[in-house]
Structure 1
Amino acid sequence: MLTLFAGIVMLGILVFIHELGHFAVAKLSGVKVLKFSLGFGPRLFSRTWGETEYMICAVPLGGYVQMLGEGGGENGEDAPLTEEEKARSFAEQSVLRRTGIVAAGPLMNLIFPFLILPVAFMVGVNLPAYLDSAPCVGYVVADSDGGRAGFQPGDCIVALNGEEVSTWTGTNKSMIGQAGSELDFTVDRQGRPLTLSMAPENNGLEGLQSLGLLPEQAATVGGVAPGMPAQAAGVEVGDRIIAIGGEPVSSWYDLKRIIQQGKGDPQDFTLERGGERLTLSIKPVQGDGDGSDYLIGIAPHQESNFKRFGPLAAIRAGADRTLELIDLTLVFIQKLFAGHVSSKNIGGPITVVQIAGQAAQTDISSILSVLAFLSIQLGILNLFPIPILDGGHLFFNLFEIVLRRPLSLRVREIAQQIGLVLIIMLMVLAFYNDIVRVFFGGQ
């Protein structure tokens, strides 16, 4: 419940930023704003200050700014306007002013990350330590792109499509522009160079881990779940697991295989704690549902590097990260329409609320980072040239500027209907993906 509430609050912040852009430029242009609403549907809160009614409504999946001359009937905006009212009507403004008002919403969403990410870097960010290390593979997920290409634990990537790489971060960045293309990895395997290739239909847009290539992870306990067998047996945070049932453990990825082989029988875990070795007998329990994995209730220790930036360095780092996120989003859209990325990657409101809600329960840097990421998605989505979105109105305005006259009402009505159908189809797909992922374990 807390995750849901936190997610809705963060989504509300992004909607507020978007609508504030429309509102501010409309006011600066002298246009009368009748309503400023967060959400749709029945009013939960309503108050009028000056000439504008400010509202919070029951459905928290968007918002709107209604201006004089946009229609709708309420407050008499469809009634004949006086000359004074015409001067303050949105419809009576020049095409350039209308374009500025419409573009202000998505532009605010794109500007917002430039403002908040520097704050995140000044507060300090925890970055996984492996990101700055050499891209050496610690584990290969079975039946993944990496597994099918022939990767093995211990392989170190030295180049991608002829471009040298030296860190996980550098490799992941290099992969963004290669999405939808064949990937040729030059790999060092125990001092022997070789090339491993993947077809263009690979899943590498989100980095090496989406290919099933995971970094090295020591078998060190970072968390112990209450009420689970590991806690009952006396396992503590910081313990390093050396062997299970006499079988050596070299990495965290060995644990699942060995535990499942035991089929729920008690197993002797050899641990190292404070330089000493001890053995604990642990009987795994099966997760919910038939055929579920056997669990003991531990989580790995994730090494991280805490970095805090000065003001100027934070501004540079925030700008670089914002541009990187914009580039990643644009590449994803391009590859999606080209058919190189599955439509299963499209998430809907449930995914957005979950991501935002989980981030809201961590630290301020994570909250600001997720807000920036989602703000960019919202801004770019609204620039799509689809009628009923801001991008559709901008598209109409472009025609008006070129033709020196607005498109006919009939053409705009047909375009609006087509746009509505497209948006409904996109929403149905997004909700379907959310439901499959949340309730049926889909990807």
Structure 2
Amino acid sequence: MILLLNPCLMALTLGSLQNILYVALGLGMVIFFHELGHFAVAKWCDVHVEQFSIGFGPAILAKKWGETVYALRAIPFGGYVQMLGQDDADPSQLTSEEIAADPRSFSSKPVWQRMAIISAGVIMNLITGLIFCAIAFAMGVESVPAIVGSVEPGHPAWVAGLERGDKIEKMGGRTIRSFEEVSISAALSTGPIDVEGRRRDDTPFKTVVVPDTSGNRPSIGVSFSSSLRLMKFLNGDPTVMPGTPAASAEPPLQGLDLITHVDDVEVKSFQDLEDRLVSKGGEAVTLTVRRPPVNAAGVPDLDAQGEEIKSRVGPGFFRTLGLSMDTGPITAVRLGSPAQKAGFLAKDKIVKVGDRAIGTALNPLRLPDELSQMAGKEIEITVARQKDGGGNQEVVLKVTPESSPGWLDAPLRAGDALAIPAIGVAIQVVPVVLSVDPGSPAEAAGIKPGQRILKLALLPHPDEGSGPDAKTVEVDLGSDKEKNVNNWAFAFVQLQRYPLRKATLTIKEDSETRTIDLEPVADKEWPYPRRGFAMYPARTTQQAKSFSEAFKMGYANMEKSVLNIYMTLRSLFTGHLSVFELHGPLGIARAAYEISKLGISSLLIFLGFLSANLAVINFLPIPMLDGGHMVFLAYEAITRKKPNEKVQIAATYAGMAFVLGLMLFVICLDLFVHKF
């Protein structure tokens, strides 16, 4: 019996020695128990086992006890049990009459015994996977809760009405316990998904999300929630963006500080913190933080109450260049929103709010905040709408905005639209200048209405240090009106993210292009909702209260893992999931290392998934793997005769070529596509 691990299991190349040893030990246990299953049942059926091997290649350790050689080999990506009459390197043994004459050979045994031997490895993987998961849940498994941190404007979840702080409890009828399961459920979907959960005020919601299938895998456009604990660098400094209000807090904030109050008002979630900071606008706030004590070993005790610190954090303001751009059409209308009730349609273009023309009298980037400030008042918005016979007509729509602050669900990617949450639409912002503010950096640089912005570049500032963000940021805005027309809002977000940097614009006017440098200025009348905090992801612990509950939780986890693996294979075969989403040894090396850093319980969950993965992969009907052997045995059971020797040999070598080809393919993906 040969056990070949999925190439993604070749994960022992990165990280500290201790973590590598943990992963290596865990991987070795999974292989060992798989082969032990084959070995134990073979012995029970009185089959002569010639060799029990962990790994492939030259032997590091080998010892013969009784009739069996036990070996540990150099390449730890699988293993095998070699029996008399069953050798994948020599498939002819299975049909040899001479070997079959030996009563202790594998091929001499009844079909049901050979099936039991073949399936024993997979069954052992399922059993040990269940044990791994049960122990993990008994210890307590940390995960990121299924709470929506932000919703990408115009994407499926946004259209379906999901909001910041929503707790997702079910997707497609399946219980959701972590944010990872949200991502997996979306990626493995084949159509609309029923989503159920609870809002921040604990009211239930139910909606239908239609995943976006334009990328390599289906997605719905949500991100996980942050916690209230500040991240820290290795030197202990908090992870804040240089030049932001958080970087100038007095007294200075520290990494691992836990924010508990804003101006003596308690905040219980990151969304509470966001809302509170938005409500303060352009005012300074006083944060109350809990600073964890450090024990004798120098390790912070995050569970301790800690010292209470009050720190003053100033306001932040949008940095602008003085440019007002044109708008493109509405890309999406949110379900149940004021805009939907008022009759707004996708492809409508907003041209006026009241009597103010967009782009000249009203900057489209200000629409999210302007309309939120009009909450509760019926206003008229004029849109340009395509007529059935061609051309456009202006339609005046009456809508009552809600009090929903803008820019919290900001464009995260170059193709994202700008959300106007107060009415529930997402619009394109075209990088074509309609007006220039008097006295602005853009006017001083000679930018004129009608010019098109082709590129924004932000060069690193010396005060930013040498961290991972200290690199040039470029936003390609396209070379013509048909390319990337919805990118200016994303470029504007980058101006806010790097507040110390100057902007370099590449501009097109007629057939000429030129590059100019500008110094963005803070608009003291336009508060920016972000103040520069970087937080750890929110975490929750799933822990069983009894041993029986641990096994129930472990069983549910294994069941879901097996189902997800089958759904992944289905999505790959149907094309819903691109093969370019696969990762090989280098990509999984990074993932395995990160998992090992989370602790023993997380590693045990990983080993449980690994066991489920091996059970499914090795039982696929691929010659040379356990599933391929079962196909031949099923044929023999039905026809009462052994498979043709030439067919079996050809199939075995074809299976070997497929597995080796898969390994080479995913390694190439790591090197040339994912660029590990």
TM > 0.5 between the two? yes
Instruction: Specify whether residues 420 and 144 from structure 1 end up closer, same or farther in structure 2 by C-alpha distance, changes over 3 A only.
Output: farther
CA deviation string 1:205-239 (max 9, x = no partner): 89xxx533124435431x42233753895524224
CA deviation string 1:147-187 (max 9, x = no partner): 687866466779867x7999877994994797111346689
Where 2:102 maps in the other structure, the secondary structure is helix
Is residue 225–residue 298 contact of structure 1 (8 Å, CA) maintained in 2?
no
Instruction: Specify whether residues 143 and 348 from structure 1 end up closer, same or farther in structure 2 by C-alpha distance, changes over 3 A only.
Output: farther
Where 1:379 maps in the other structure, the secondary structure is helix
The yes-or-no answer on 1:290 pairing with 2:471 is yes
Q: How many residues align?
A: 409
Q: How does 1:372-387 map to 2 (within 5 A)?
A: 372-387=608-623
In 1, the alpha carbon distance for the partners of 2:187 and 2:675 equals 33
**Structure 1: which 5+ runs fail to align?**
244-249, 259-267
Instruction: Specify whether residues 29 and 352 from structure 1 end up closer, same or farther in structure 2 by C-alpha distance, changes over 3 A only.
Output: farther
- Greater shift after overlay, 82-91 or 14-23? 82-91
1:114 equivalent in structure 2: 130
Which of 135, 138, 141 is the equivalent residue of 2:149? 138
In 1, the alpha carbon distance for the partners of 2:156 and 2:617 equals 29
Which of 4, 7, 13 is the equivalent residue of 2:29? 13
In 1, the alpha carbon distance for the partners of 2:51 and 2:643 equals 27
Cα RMSD, aligned residues only? 4.5
CA deviation string 1:89-127 (max 9, x = no partner): 112222222221111112211222222322222233334
The yes-or-no answer on 1:182 pairing with 2:363 is no
In 1, the alpha carbon distance for the partners of 2:260 and 2:253 equals 13
In 2, the alpha carbon distance for the partners of 1:301 and 1:188 equals 20
Is residue 171–residue 193 contact of structure 2 (8 Å, CA) maintained in 1?
yes
Which of 103, 109, 113 is the equivalent residue of 1:87? 103
Instruction: Specify whether residues 159 and 330 from structure 1 end up closer, same or farther in structure 2 by C-alpha distance, changes over 3 A only.
Output: closer
The yes-or-no answer on 1:323 pairing with 2:548 is no
Where 1:334 maps in the other structure, the secondary structure is helix
The yes-or-no answer on 1:307 pairing with 2:319 is no
The yes-or-no answer on 1:273 pairing with 2:289 is yes
Instruction: Specify whether residues 198 and 276 from structure 1 end up closer, same or farther in structure 2 by C-alpha distance, changes over 3 A only.
Output: same
Is residue 382–residue 390 contact of structure 1 (8 Å, CA) maintained in 2?
yes
Q: How does 1:346-357 map to 2 (within 5 A)?
A: 346-357=582-593
Instruction: Specify whether residues 254 and 387 from structure 1 end up closer, same or farther in structure 2 by C-alpha distance, changes over 3 A only.
Output: farther
Is residue 54–residue 73 contact of structure 2 (8 Å, CA) maintained in 1?
yes
Is residue 181–residue 201 contact of structure 1 (8 Å, CA) maintained in 2?
no
Provide the TM-score with structure 1 as the length reference.
Answer: 0.75
1:34 equivalent in structure 2: 50
The yes-or-no answer on 1:421 pairing with 2:657 is yes
Task: Give the CA deviation at 1:32.
Answer: 1.0
The yes-or-no answer on 1:227 pairing with 2:235 is yes
Q: How does 1:242-281 map to 2 (within 5 A)?
A: 251=270, 271-273=287-289, 277-279=310-312
Calculate percent identity across the aligned residue pairs: 27
1:262 equivalent in structure 2: none
Amino acid at match of 1:180: T
In 2, the alpha carbon distance for the partners of 1:204 and 1:253 equals 34
Amino acid at match of 1:34: E
In 1, the alpha carbon distance for the partners of 2:272 and 2:78 equals 42
Q: How does 1:94-243 map to 2 (within 5 A)?
A: 94-128=110-144, 130-131=145-146, 137-141=148-152, 146=157, 153=164, 172=182, 175=185, 179-183=189-193, 197-199=209-211, 201=213, 211-221=220-230, 223-227=231-235, 230=238, 235-240=254-259
Amino acid at match of 2:150: Y
Instruction: Specify whether residues 33 and 124 from structure 1 end up closer, same or farther in structure 2 by C-alpha distance, changes over 3 A only.
Output: same
Which of 642, 659, 668 is the equivalent residue of 1:432? 668
In 2, the alpha carbon distance for the partners of 1:73 and 1:286 equals 53
Of Structure 1 and Structure 2, which has the larger fraction of its residues in helix?
1
In 2, the alpha carbon distance for the partners of 1:385 and 1:4 equals 32
Provide the TM-score with structure 2 as the length reference.
Answer: 0.51
Task: Give the CA deviation at 1:23.
Answer: 0.7
In 2, the alpha carbon distance for the partners of 1:252 and 1:183 equals 25
Is residue 225–residue 297 contact of structure 1 (8 Å, CA) maintained in 2?
no
**Structure 2: which 5+ runs fail to align?**
1-14, 240-246, 263-268, 278-283, 291-307, 315-462, 474-496, 500-531
1:53 equivalent in structure 2: 69
Instruction: Specify whether residues 14 and 290 from structure 1 end up closer, same or farther in structure 2 by C-alpha distance, changes over 3 A only.
Output: same
Instruction: Specify whether residues 329 and 269 from structure 1 end up closer, same or farther in structure 2 by C-alpha distance, changes over 3 A only.
Output: farther
Amino acid at match of 1:201: T
Instruction: Specify whether residues 365 and 227 from structure 1 end up closer, same or farther in structure 2 by C-alpha distance, changes over 3 A only.
Output: closer
Which of 606, 630, 634 is the equivalent residue of 1:370? 606
CA deviation string 1:70-92 (max 9, x = no partner): 35899xx99x9999981111122
Amino acid at match of 2:558: T
Task: Give the CA deviation at 1:381.
Answer: 0.1
Instruction: Specify whether residues 48 and 315 from structure 1 end up closer, same or farther in structure 2 by C-alpha distance, changes over 3 A only.
Output: same
CA deviation string 1:289-342 (max 9, x = no partner): 732687999642634245332122222222222212212222222222111122
In 2, the alpha carbon distance for the partners of 1:143 and 1:426 equals 37
In 1, the alpha carbon distance for the partners of 2:98 and 2:649 equals 26
Where 1:87 maps in the other structure, the secondary structure is coil
Task: Give the CA deviation at 1:242.
Answer: 8.9
Amino acid at match of 2:124: M
Where 1:211 maps in the other structure, the secondary structure is coil
